[in-house]
Amino acid sequence: MSKLEELIQELCPDGVRFKSIKEVYQRVKGTPITAGKMKEIENNKGDIRVFAVGKTVINAYEKDIPKANITRVPAVLVQSRGIIDVIYYEKPFTFKNEMWAYTHQEKISVKFLY
Nearest to 94 by CA among 48, 39, 53: 48
Quote the pLDDT of residue 81: 76
Residue 58 within a domain: yes
> What's the domain count of the chain?
1
Residue 22 within a domain: yes
Residue 8 within a domain: no
pLDDT tens-place string over residues 62-114: 999 988 899 999 999 998 777 788 999 999 999 998 899 999 989 989 999 99
Residue 59 within a domain: yes
Residue 13 within a domain: no
Count CA atoms closer than 13 A to 43's CA, side-chain side.
11
The domain containing residue 25 runs over which residues? 18-113
Residue 48 within a domain: yes
Residue 46: band (very low, low, confident or very high) from pLDDT cuts 50, 70, 90 = very high
Instruction: Look up the pTM and report it.
Output: 0.81
pLDDT tens-place string over residues 26-43: 999 889 999 999 999 999
